[in-house]
Amino acid sequence: MANLHAICGLYHEAFTGIKPFGGYIIAEGDKIDGFLTDIHGHSRIEGAMTQEDLEFTKTYDRPGTPINYRFKLDKAGIWKGEYEFSRAGETMGGDRAVCRTHLCFENMTFRLYDSRKNPEEWAKMLLEGMVDEGMLKIVEDPETGQEFVEPGELPEQGIGE
């Protein structure tokens, strides 16, 4: 089971100043996976979060250098830290960053898959999830033996009720 966190923060760039970022984190144990958006575009993050430390690598959708973030949680509940990026093992830049996280939902089941990388696998995963949740069911044609999908049972309660 995983927990869904919101994340919102600021980072400093030497020439352009302070920039905001935001997104979400899915945490399973100490491992995290999620997405962020900032002035430079959308990015995926992967790393770890404990009660005191938050570390992740941010990779933008476009080709480029991964950026490593490291934070420590202060007494006011603010993650304070820094980021840096390197090429060919040489640090090219970095600066300070701060953020807050908020636990939004606990003990959820997520199927994480980046649909942009392989749409067919994403569609398969989506269908499997809908079958697992009972929204769809797989039935077999008695004459041909071929499987097909038909509507399942709708939940009696809506999401969040």
Could you tell me the two tokens for 19?
A: 């920039």
Distances (CA, A) of 7 to 21, 52, 143: 8, 15, 53
Mean pLDDT of 134-150: 86
What is the per-residue pLDDT across 75-93, written as a single tens digit (0 to 9) for each? 999 999 999 987 767 777 7
The dotted CATH code for 2-107 is 2.40.128.120
pTM score above 0.85: no
List Cβ neighbours of 47 (8 Å cut-off, separation of 6 or more): 31, 32, 54, 55, 56, 57, 69
Whether residue 28 contacts residue 108, with contact meaning beta carbons closer than 8 Å, is answered with: no
Please list the residue range(s) of the chain that carry CATH number 2.40.128.120: 2-107
What is the per-residue pLDDT across 89-140, written as a single tens digit (0 to 9) for each? 777 778 999 999 999 999 887 766 666 667 787 777 777 877 887 878 888 8
Mean pLDDT of the chain: 86
Whether residue 27 contacts residue 45, with contact meaning beta carbons closer than 8 Å, is answered with: no
